[in-house]
Structures are given as structure tokens and as C-alpha cells.
A = this chain, B = another copy of it.
Amino acid sequence: MRTYLECYPCFLRQALDGARLAGADEQQQRDILERVLDLLKSAPLTLVPPAIGQRVHGIVRDETGVPDPYQAVKERSTREALALYPWLRGIVAEADDGLETAVRLSIAGNIIDMGPNPTYDLRDEVKRVLKEPLAIDDSGALGDSLRDARTVLYLADNAGETVFDRVLIEAIEARVIYAVKGHPIINDATAEDARAAGVGQVAEVMNNGSDSPGTLLEGCSDEFRRTYQEAEIIIGKGQANYETLGEEGSRIFFLLQTKCPVIARDVGKPVGSLIVHQGQDNGPGRGYEKERGL
């Protein structure tokens, strides 16, 4: 998905949030914003938003010298989510369809996000997501694919959300490779964050070698790219994976909440929608068709 002009204010806000988390003083914050203003002037709108986000947060790390401004935020998110873990497992155990419920919980965990939407209440979110209809519901196809697969590549999103992913992975019988970021970017999970959430107990944790949100294949390691190419079925969590891999075909299922108006318009559903969307093999995905009125 391309970048839209509405993303500009959001990139500035993210830069400011990141700068403050890194402890930047006002002069440093201003210096960071000036570099982001230059970046936005020169960046082509044909880039996917995570390619710009990657550079924005790179500027924050570079100017402040802080390698992981979101470290404390990530640790807190993981702690808070782990406190809910027994409750979440119980919900799945008591469900009529454990896999579908675990899919929903994984989507509930996607509310954890320091990019577009930094405030939420986890328990309320779980309750909401368990009872609301999915705005795009390819969960039948996802269930079939998961039951048939021997191996699933699971592309992680945020720290804390990892705990909800763990609950879904426990409901999947196939072997799961859980791919996380190679380097810190916003509050996205790294291998350390995934292990702190206990994902290492239920999946093979591998890092993708990249410091971009989502999955920008050209910046990933050769090893990750090989795993990606060979994967039978892929789960992509969160907006950024949809933005970067939305046109990569039907073996990818995107599990996300629409947390910003740009994504919402692209998928053709309101902000706050719950999405299980299977990519399409013939041509680009739903959003692209929608844009052309197909």
C-alpha cells in the first residue's frame, strides 16, 4: 500500500513520541522534527508507509543515541499482557471453536500499538473483540489452511501482542515459525520481546534481520527471505504487514484492527474494524480494487 498525505501528520507525531520516550530535550526534539520535515519533503508517495516509518524512527535513534526508545514501553506491554495470559487461555479452553476464538484474541492483542494509536484498555478490548463481528471474515479459509498446513510462518507485530499470538499458536497444531524484527523499531517485538512473552516455548522464534515496521522483504536477511519464499501459509499481524505484503497473494492471511483512517479506507471498512483478510492471487488486494471501483 502506498503512502498517503494523511500519513504526514502521523509521522511527525510518531517522531515526537519517539523523541520524548528517548528522553530528548526540546532542542533535540526540534532537530529531529526538522530532519523528518526534510524526509517528508523528499520521500516519494509510492513508498509503503513502513519504509518512511523506518527512516523516521531511525532519525530518532540517530539524534538521541538511544538504540531502543520503546524498550520500557515494550517491557510494560509484555508484563501487562502476561498478567492476562491465564484468563486468555481459559477463554480458549471454554470456547466452542477454540481456533476461531484464539484468532479473535490475536486480533484483540493488535490494539497494542505505539504507532497510530497509543491508548487502549486490554481487558475491554478482549471483551469487545470476542463479541463484535469481523468486518472482513476470511476465518473459514484461514481455519482450513491452518488445519492442512505442516508449517506456518507467523509475522509478529508488537511486544505484548506477542502474548496473544502465543495463545493463537497454542491452538495451531502445525509447526510455527514466529518471525520478529531484527532490530528495535517502535514497539515491534524483537526476539528478546518474543521470548519474554513465552513465545519461545511454543514456536521457533526467528528474526527477519530488518528494522522496518511490517515486512519490507528487500531489507530482510537472506535466511528470512528463504523461509518466507518457502512458507505454505503465512499469518501477517497488524497494519504494517498489510501495508508491506498486501499484494503478495492468497497464502497470506492478515489479522489486524484498522487503527487509522488511511488503512480503514484501503480495506474499505471503518476505523476500529476487526479484519481476517486473505490476500488474493490474481492481481492486488481488496483495497486496490476498491480504489479503482472494481
Give A residues with C-beta under 8 Å from B: 5-6, 8-10, 12-13, 16, 26, 29-30, 33-34, 37-38, 40-41, 45
Is the pair B16, A12 in contact by a Cβ cutoff of 8 Å?
Answer: no
Q: List the 4 closest A-B pairs by CB distance, nearest first.
A: A9-B9, A9-B12, A9-B13, A37-B37
A37 to B37, CA, bound (A): 6
**Inter-chain contact A29/B5, CB cutoff 8 Å:** yes
Choice from B10, B13, B26, B37 contacting A40 with Cβ under 8 Å:
B37
Name the residue of chain B whose CB is nearest to the CB of A32. B5
- Complex Cα gap A30–B33 (Å): 19
A26 to B6 Cα, complex, angstroms: 11
Q: Is A16 a contact of B6 with CB atoms below 8 Å?
A: yes
Contact for A8 among B5, B12, B38, CB less than 8 A: B12
Q: How many copies of this kind of chain does the complex include?
A: 2
What are some 24 contacts across the A-B interface (CB < 8 A)?
A: A5-B16, A5-B26, A5-B29, A5-B30, A5-B33, A6-B13, A6-B16, A8-B12, A8-B16, A8-B33, A9-B9, A9-B10, A9-B12, A9-B13, A9-B16, A12-B12, A30-B45, A33-B40, A34-B41, A37-B37, A37-B38, A37-B40, A37-B41, A38-B41
Residue of B nearest to A6 (CB): B16
Bound together, the chains give a CA A30 to CA B46 distance in angstroms of 13
Q: How far is the CA of A9 from the CA of B13 in the complex (A)?
A: 6
Please indicate the chain B residues that have their CB under 8 angstroms from the CB of A33 in the complex.
5, 8, 40
The interface residues of chain B lying within 8 Å CB-to-CB of A41 are 34, 37-38
Bound Cα distance A12, B29 (Å): 17
Q: Kindly state the separation between the CA atoms of A13 and B41 in the bound complex, as whole angstroms.
A: 15
Looking at A12, A33, A41, the one whose CB has the most chain B CB atoms below 10 A away is: A12
Complexed CA–CA distance, A58 and B51 (Å):
32
**A146 CA to B8 CA in the complex, in Å?**
45
Measured CB to CB, the closest approach of chain B to A56, in angstroms, equals: 12
